[in-house]
Chains A and B, each alone.
Chain A
Amino acid sequence: MKTPEFSAGPVVRRAGQLYDNPEKKVEKIRLTIDGREIEADKGMNVLEAAHAAGIEIPSLCYLRHINEIGSCRVCLVEVEIKGARVLQASCAFPATEGLVVHTSSARVRRVRKTMVELLLSDHHRECTTCIRNLNCELQNIADNLGIRNIKYTGEMKQLPIHNKNSFIVRDYNKCIKCRRCEAICSKVQEVNVYSAINRGYDTVIAPAFMQDLSQVACITCGQCVIACPTASLAEKECIDSVWEALEDPDKYVIVQTAPSIQVTLGELFGYEVGTVVTGKLVAALRRLGFYKVFSTDFTADLTIMEEAHELLERLERGDKLPLLSSCSPGWVKFAEHFYPEYLENLSTCKSPHEMFGALTKTYFAGKQGLDPEKIVVVAIMPCTAKKFEASRLEMGTGKFKDVDWVITTRELARMIRQAGIDFRDLPDEDYDTPMGIASGAGAIFGSTGGVIEAAVRTAYYLTSGREMDVLDYEELRGFSGLKEAWVELKGRRIKVAIAHGTGNARKLMDRLRAGEQFDYAEIMACPGGCVGGGGQPIFGTREHKEISLDYRHNRADALDRIDYSKKLRRAHENPAVKKIYEEFLGRPLSDMSKKLLHTYFTPRGESPGFDFGGEKGRFAGHVEENLHPVT
């Protein structure tokens, strides 16, 4: 890739490489699937080999490289072993040279149908009112298999729906025990919220003691929601509250969109993954009736200014290093649960959308002469953790919440459909000013590596007065998703590191604990950063039948393209940012800044719901405190 001349741009700042190393030479093998001889990579399983050859084997529990446990039995195929045709789970059976496979024999189709019928016999089939209607893998497979009635009827689970929190709803009655939530939470995120409880038919995949997610060490990242094939895990919707505000003539409803929304929303309207739809996004929001359509990229630029100064200040004083980024609320909660001794290392900056909310109800209200009480701030976020973040009591000024409602990319798409807007037919429109002006640096906040790159570039400029050269990251000791680089700042070589996915964050933090030195680290809770966020589009339909999460590369590439295409590429050059410091904040880290744009953190313990005092310990039924009430 040729880097444009004016850019000190990203070289290795890609969401991908989390699962794949494209450079690796792969040995090829040949096998026969459904009478066709096909070529496949050595090391693939039968399902992947078939997929690569254009033969789709339906599956439910399979998630490439994350969950390959062969437990739903939907992907069963016949494999010829020593002359006998044996049923094997194709997701867990290695494709080997000369293997003969039948993916659609009468026996396979019959057993597959039975498996899906059995799953459906214990699944609350309320498709028409379900949040995953038309985007449900189970529904899709049932339709493909032509299931018209279910022979096996009997007891159906009637378990309480867990929704006493602001971010994720767990409906056990729709769970098909694919264990994808458990796998992604324990293997990728290493948070280990879910595990199997009970046996046989009574098995549930749940947090310890089947507690609500708000009562355990859940970081609210929503990766489980992305992984769930049905609506057993879903975002806590708040579309109706947003509609209510929009319809209230007394309210000024101001919307902001996170950087990554412009590269993912299109997927929900039939665009290719990685299509940039910024203009249509803005147009749609205007048509929905928002008073102002702003961009969180603007406060991302502001965050860069604050954080760069914070970095320089800490480097100068030599304390609270490394500085750890804090713009990913999932990571913040992760740190609060698992690395409380490092909370003072976290940047005190609020995340950009919270800064945005605080400024809207102060700076913008003052400028426009609006009563802040009448302002409703809605944030369109790629994230379920932002829903939790907005409910923190400290994220507000006096009686106001900084951000009133957080809705995910998926919820926004639903609102657009509800309003009857033909998204593909919309013209391209521009964000409102001043809080819609953003640099390319703000945009790349949405994928891993973006925050640190933007902040270091600004810090470099602030100290040297020159623009920085290309930053080269080296993969940290073979751990994908964990990178490091050296940068020269104020005549000093500083070491920066990047981790995305809290599993990688854990590795980085454990190295810190072990005494390794860093100066600055960017950590994002979701693999790939916000482009892989828990509020992003879920692929489960015929059009987007993915067997892995690799599509995150494409979204990150799209953010890079936005960055490259902008004239304005550095936060400190953003005229709106300069203006807000002149008119309102004074300077970075001023008292006003600290009051509005900075926050504090709370240690939460690894097992918040459990009291280990006394001999045996007991469940204490802990409930999260210091939160706005859940509605």
Chain B
Amino acid sequence: MKIENIGDLKALKEKHYPLIKQRLGHRNGLGLTQIMVCSGSSCVSTESQAILRELERELDEHGLNENVRVMKTGCLGFCQHGPVVMVHPGEIFYCRVKPEDVKELVQTHLLEGRLVERMLYQEDLTGKRIPSINDIHFFKAQERIVLQNCGVINPEDIEEYIARDGYHTLADAILNKRPGEIIDTISKSGLRGRGGAGFPTGKKWEMTAAQDVTPKYVVCNADEGDPGAFMDRSILEGDPHSVLEAMAIAAYCIGANQGYIYVRAEYPVAVERLEIAIGQARETGLLGKGLLGTLFNFDIELRLGAGAFVCGEETALLHSIMGARGEPRPRPPYPAQEGVWGKPTLINNVETYANIPIILRRGWEWYQGYGTATTKGTKVFSLAGKIKNTGLIEVPMGTSLRTIVFDIGGGIPGGKKFKAIQTGGPSGGCIPEKFLDRPIDYESLKEIGSIMGSGGMIVMSEDNCMVDLARFYLEFTQDESCGRCTPCRVGTKRLLEILKRITEGHGEMEDLDILERLSLDIRDASLCGLGQTAPNPVLSTLSYFRDEYIAHVRNKTCPAGVCKGLFSYRVDEEKCIACGLCAKACAAGAISGAPKQPYRIDPAKCVKCAACVAKCPKEAIVKGSDKEAKINENAGIFSGTGSQESRAAL
């Protein structure tokens, strides 16, 4: 069916709204149960699709098809507890469901009308089981605007999106508004690019609209490359139409007829959802020739990226769209002047686009109500690392890192101490505890040596070595450098080599100065954002965790016991019960011993695989600094408590 006016959209909304309303918590007496199975990548990888099939089969078997509907939905963000199944009415949140649990779920919940207690979310502190999603703290503390449809609608059904007022703003824009008015609203809302740099979105639209050259293009950057970040993926998987609608509005505003979504090939679910969404939008006349019966044409093509991190940089992405090697180029000219095929191109990130329909629907004044003085709205973050609730969250700009880590994120598991949080992906800085209470926005993060980036957050505990961490990220950026400009190609390699030396115990104090100097020059001189931000992990750890560097260089120790070159395992003789399990586990043949005598580890043979640590029933295998081991070696003893004396002798 072709949609030609707002009336058609309203009719579709009427038709589906009762179902949606129920999912939002209204007990509207539909006499219908809806089961929403999370079908985001994370839950799909933990077999949510098998659950879906199992549910359909069970319902069939019990003849419940009339009154129960099962459908896919997008990610709710609580991925740590997936696969997630929600049952409406009641907004019952079942987590960590397995396919074999489905029988019980159908029997108990649907047939007997009782909750399946054991599958409900268990609160960490109290141990209480919480049935409704609305009572789970992880969700209560969030503000879901961009993610409003994720987990609520079926992303593979355009009519459900329309029932959530979808495409209404597009229709309103094309039929009733001038491009200038719309751009004005975007500008006033204060929306800034969510891809990382935070450029004012309205200004970008304005610049592209002002170009005389035609044709123009609209591009969506969905090349989310930060390890552990999946904000864009979740939006595309859970609410693809919001991006399509925003792109069509953008095209109308700047005067484009063709759009491209550059999405990673490693996001097969997102690609599939986008293909379905584009197909449905074309069928209904919301994409293609003559949108909503007007003369305005706009269509979207997908371009699959081959996984290069640098293709998230806009000029590299444009090259890649055109079939060239993904390499950035200097700006100016900006993409707004010369983009795809050398023509003016508007390029925004997925999350930026996802903000557009809602801003236009609810007004810029409303949107301004969220955020800080310089940064409006909300931001989606993905939480990873040493944190209890890994997953996806959305909070207003200006929320403190403490709220994110300890309140929503649930803190550090295992009672460990917080050490740092890295924001902005592999090229972000590591922020120490003293800044946790700062309200975060683009500027405040920059001030403390990090970046907003696209929204990845990785939490580090006392078990993480900050030098090793910097090395890890440099390895990533060096691997992903396109190799075009000197500072990024050679400079990051040299940084990495110095860091490697330090983690292996061969660092000199002078190296710290070289690291800092070179990092600053790379930041200053690199061609694109990848190189300019690559030294951030080094600079921020050097500045906030310098003592760890000094420990590696001067004392040849790794305080966190991570750097393999700087510690050895030894047997605590007091604890050892001479069971011999460690020796059996050791593939390197480094452990020897005799009955009733403490075992010993030969540091020369030990490869530090920690297999013995795992096997020891008494936790008798402990880490000691390498220096200690060397002294012991010289003294003719492999291990033991004699180290105290040796140290004294030093």
Contact = CB atoms under 8 A, between A and B. Distances in A.
A631 B456 CA distance: 58
Contacts of B478: 200-201
A200 B479 contact: yes
B441 to A, nearest CB: 20
B151 interface: no
Interface in B117-153: none
Interface in A64-109: 69-74, 76, 87-89, 92-94, 107
Contact of A177 (B484, B491, B497, B521): B484
A179 B487 CA distance: 16
Nearest to B310: A199
Contact of A94 (B332, B481, B514, B527): B332
B486 A203 contact: no
Nearest to B308: A199
B525 interface: yes
A183 to B, nearest CB: 13
A73 B330 contact: no
A575 B483 CA distance: 60
Interface residues of A, number: 38
Nearest to A176: B486
Contact of A118 (B327, B330, B486, B527): B486
A196 interface: yes
B527 A70 contact: yes
A199 B485 contact: no
Interface string B310-350: 00000000000000010101101000000000000000000
Nearest to B510: A151
A82 to B, nearest CB: 14
Given A76-B525, A93-B330, A200-B493, A115 B514 contact: no
Given A69-B330, A196-B327, A202-B483, A121 B521 contact: no
Contacts of B490: 118-119, 121-122, 152, 201
A89 B479 CA distance: 24
A369 B482 CA distance: 64
B494 A73 contact: no
B493 A73 contact: no
A129 interface: no
Nearest to B522: A114
Contacts of A74: 486
A192 interface: no
B526 interface: yes
Nearest to A201: B493
A179 B329 CA distance: 13
A119 B481 CA distance: 16
A18 B482 CA distance: 32
A118 B517 CA distance: 13
B646 to A, nearest CB: 35
Contacts of B526: 73
Contacts of B497: 154-155
A198 interface: yes
A71 B479 contact: no
Contact of B487 (A73, A94, A154, A176): A73
Interface in A49-66: none
Interface of B is mostly: helix
Contact of B483 (A110, A114, A201): A201
Interface in B518-534: 518, 521, 524-527
Nearest to A112: B525
B492 interface: yes
B492 A200 contact: yes
Contacts of A93: 330, 332
Interface residue range, chain B:
20 to 34
Contact of B518 (A73, A114, A119, A177): A114
B535 to A, nearest CB: 12
Nearest to A118: B490
Nearest to A87: B524
A70 B330 contact: yes
B9 to A, nearest CB: 44
B480 interface: yes
A111 interface: yes
A71 B484 CA distance: 6
Given A72-B486, A199-B483, A115 B525 contact: yes
A570 B524 CA distance: 62
Contact of B486 (A115, A151, A196, A202): A115
A195 interface: yes
Contacts of A110: 521
A71 B485 contact: yes
Contact of A121 (B308, B327, B494): B494
B241 interface: no
B489 interface: yes
A199 B525 contact: no
Nearest to B477: A200
A441 to B, nearest CB: 44
Given A70-B330, A111-B521, A199-B308, A154 B325 contact: no
Interface string A472-500: 00000000000000000000000000000
Nearest to B475: A200
A114 B518 CA distance: 8
A578 to B, nearest CB: 56
B480 A200 contact: yes
Contacts of A70: 329-330, 485, 527
B480 A89 contact: no
A202 B330 CA distance: 22
Contacts of B332: 93-94
Given A71-B486, A118-B490, A199 B330 contact: no
Nearest to A179: B484
B531 to A, nearest CB: 9
A121 B487 CA distance: 12
A152 B479 contact: no
Which of B478, B481, B485, B517 has most chain A Cβ within 10 Å? B485
B525 A201 contact: no
Interface string B281-313: 000000000000000000000000000100000
A176 B482 CA distance: 14
A196 B325 contact: yes
A149 to B, nearest CB: 12
Nearest to B331: A92
A152 B330 contact: no
Contacts of A71: 484-486, 527
A121 B521 CA distance: 15
A37 B479 CA distance: 44
B525 A73 contact: yes
Contacts of A92: 329-330
Contacts of A69: 329-330, 484
A74 B492 CA distance: 17
Contacts of B481: 199-201
B489 A177 contact: yes
B492 to A, nearest CB: 7
A631 B485 CA distance: 37
B150 to A, nearest CB: 34
A73 B527 contact: yes
B331 to A, nearest CB: 9
Given A118-B491, A151-B514, A111 B525 contact: yes
A197 B521 CA distance: 26
Contacts of A199: 308, 479-483
Q: Give the top 8 A-B pairs by smallest Cβ distance, nearest first.
A: A203-B483, A154-B497, A92-B330, A70-B330, A201-B493, A200-B481, A118-B490, A114-B521
Given A115-B521, A152-B514, 18 more contacts: A70-B485, A73-B526, A73-B527, A74-B486, A89-B330, A92-B330, A114-B491, A118-B486, A118-B487, A122-B490, A177-B489, A199-B308, A200-B479, A200-B480, A200-B481, A200-B482, A200-B492, A201-B483
25 contacts: A69-B330, A70-B329, A70-B527, A73-B485, A73-B486, A87-B525, A92-B330, A107-B524, A114-B491, A114-B518, A114-B525, A118-B494, A119-B486, A119-B490, A152-B490, A152-B491, A154-B494, A177-B489, A196-B482, A199-B308, A199-B480, A200-B482, A201-B489, A201-B493, A203-B482
